[in-house]
Amino acid sequence: MWLDPTSAVEARTRASAKHSLARRFRDVRKTTQRLCAPLAVEDYVVQSMPDVSPTKWHLAHTTWFFETFVLAGRSGYRPVNEAYEHLFNSYYNAVGTQFPRPRRGLLSRPTVDEVWSYRRHVDAAMNELLAQSLPRELETVIELGLHHEQQHQELMLTDIKHVLGANPLAPVYASAPAPVASRAAGPVSFQHYAPGLTQCGHDGEGFHFDNETPRHRVFLEPFSLARRLVTCGEYQAFVADDGYRRPELWLSEGWDWVRREGIAAPLYWRGEELFTLAGQRARQRDEPVVHVSYFEADAYARWAGARLPREHELELATSGQAVEGNFMESEAMHPRAAATDGMSQLYGDGWEWTQSPYTAYPGYAPAAGALGEYNGKFMCNQFVLRGGSCATAVGHIRDTYRNFFPAAARWQFSCIRLAKDASS
Ligand SMILES: [Fe+2]
């Protein structure tokens, strides 16, 4: 067959993309499996609060995604169990009904072994499919399924941390070297950004979620950003200054939350110690404070005479920067102290709360069909977080990435970076 040079290049690109998608599928699925290696079978089933899903459910749900959106209805594919559609559908109303999220921990069946075998069944069908030439639309859905699974990898880590943290034995998920007593961090310094018109959002080249689009213009007033995350030592000074007992520092809803829930410190603080995925250990002054809610981040910022950044300010700060930092692959499984006095920790370590409500960008349109339920319908009562964490896969994050959680959530690796209004 004759091919003009352009088509030949395109054909080669398509062939290599096919191989890389197949390879990526195997890599992502294997990473999920590897994250389970330290667990005992009993760990897979526990649900410690309504927001936490059992590990077993994550394993099945990420598999259900490929079965439902890629394999279902294809000739030759037979589902393992029709009832899984209801059990492992998270929130897709267009697909069907869902088992209630707060009750996922009641599912002792299917067993962990049966869920592993469900994964193997779907993997075999997917590997067979990925060996063929696929329409671009289907490749896009598979790519989405892989990014979806990476999101769940992070949730598996934060959820198992919550499960193990609820246990007085403070079990170790995986040992990690204890942080060396870090160099004393000096007072935090701020980097100034001049006012101006900037472009925010994804330009459409390469994978992205629909909530990152369209790219649009934003005018930013002059501002400055702290060059590192807030440390445990700094946050301890807020606690010691009665930070949790002074209503003037808190948003009204935050103050109600503190009193209602009896909150007096970040999640996982245990006296002078800290519960981590590597077990309980002494808290280091200079490591970032983590597992704080939006309410806590906001109150701390007010106490410190600053504010939380806006999402577009952080996007400008990360724009064009290499995605490097303390991610899941470092296996530290905890934020680390800043290594330099320069702008640091923008990527990795901990998600940074922004004061930006999670809403649609101008001109946003959700994807068509059931997959349109992925992001758009959650644009209410949540705040945007940026930058990824020590539990995020490095290949999953980018400067336009928008994570989002309600203001009281703090079981994610959420941290604080201060910002200030500045004069031009
Ligand atoms: Fe999901």
Compute the distance from residue 113 Cα to the ligand 1 centre, in Å: 21
- Percent of the chain clearing pLDDT 90 (strictly above): 88
What's residue 5's pLDDT?
A: 39
Query: DSSP code of 102?
Result: G
What's residue 193's pLDDT?
A: 98
Q: Please list the helix, strand and coil fractions of the chain in percent, rounded to the nearest 5, in that order.
A: 40, 10, 45
What's residue 167's pLDDT?
A: 98
pTM for the model stands at 0.94
Inter-residue contact 388 to 348 (CB < 8 Å)? yes
pLDDT in tens, 15-44: 566 679 999 999 999 999 999 999 999 999
Give the confidence band of 130 by pLDDT, cuts at 50, 70, 90: very high
Distances from the Cα of 209 to the Cαs of 69, 147, 332, 362, in angstroms?
Answer: 16, 9, 27, 15
Which of helix, strand or coil describes residue 197? strand
Instruction: Using the predicted structure, report yes or no on whether residue 227 has a pLDDT greater than 80.
Output: yes
Which position has the token pair 């309600």? 406
Compute the distance from residue 91 Cα to the ligand 1 centre, in Å: 8
What's residue 252's pLDDT?
A: 98
Compute the distance from residue 15 Cα to the ligand 1 centre, in Å: 29
Q: How far apart are CA 291 and CA 267, in angstroms?
A: 6
pLDDT in tens, 3-22: 333 455 554 555 566 679 99
Q: How far apart are CA 246 and CA 255, in angstroms?
A: 9
Instruction: Using the predicted structure, report yes or no on whether residue 203 has a pLDDT greater than 90.
Output: yes
Q: How far apart are CA 25 and CA 58, in angstroms?
A: 17
Neighbours of 137 (CB within 10 A): 7
Compute the distance from residue 206 Cα to the ligand 1 centre, in Å: 21
What's residue 176's pLDDT?
A: 80
Compute the distance from residue 327 Cα to the ligand 1 centre, in Å: 21
Inter-residue contact 319 to 384 (CB < 8 Å)? no
What's residue 18's pLDDT?
A: 61
Phi and psi of 390, rounded to 5°? -70, -5
Compute the distance from residue 394 Cα to the ligand 1 centre, in Å: 19
The mean pLDDT value for 181-192 works out to 81
Compute the distance from residue 145 Cα to the ligand 1 centre, in Å: 9
Compute the distance from residue 372 Cα to the ligand 1 centre, in Å: 13
Compute the distance from residue 131 Cα to the ligand 1 centre, in Å: 25
Compute the distance from residue 103 Cα to the ligand 1 centre, in Å: 16
Cβ-Cβ contacts under 8 Å for 255 (sequence gap 6 or more): 247
What's residue 354's pLDDT?
A: 98
The mean pLDDT value for 282-309 works out to 98
pLDDT in tens, 231-278: 999 999 999 999 999 999 999 999 999 999 999 999 999 999 999 999
Instruction: Using the predicted structure, report yes or no on whether residue 195 has a pLDDT greater than 90.
Output: yes
Which of helix, strand or coil describes residue 386? strand
Give the confidence band of 369 by pLDDT, cuts at 50, 70, 90: confident
**Helical segments of 326-386, H only:** none
- Percent of the chain clearing pLDDT 70 (strictly above): 94
Neighbours of 421 (CB within 10 A): 10
Give the confidence band of 1 by pLDDT, cuts at 50, 70, 90: very low
Compute the distance from residue 150 Cα to the ligand 1 centre, in Å: 10
Compute the distance from residue 310 Cα to the ligand 1 centre, in Å: 27
Compute the distance from residue 35 Cα to the ligand 1 centre, in Å: 17
Mean pLDDT of all residues in the chain? 94
Helix axes 112-130, 5-36, angle to 10 degrees: 170
Which position has the token pair 């935090």? 188
What's residue 184's pLDDT?
A: 65
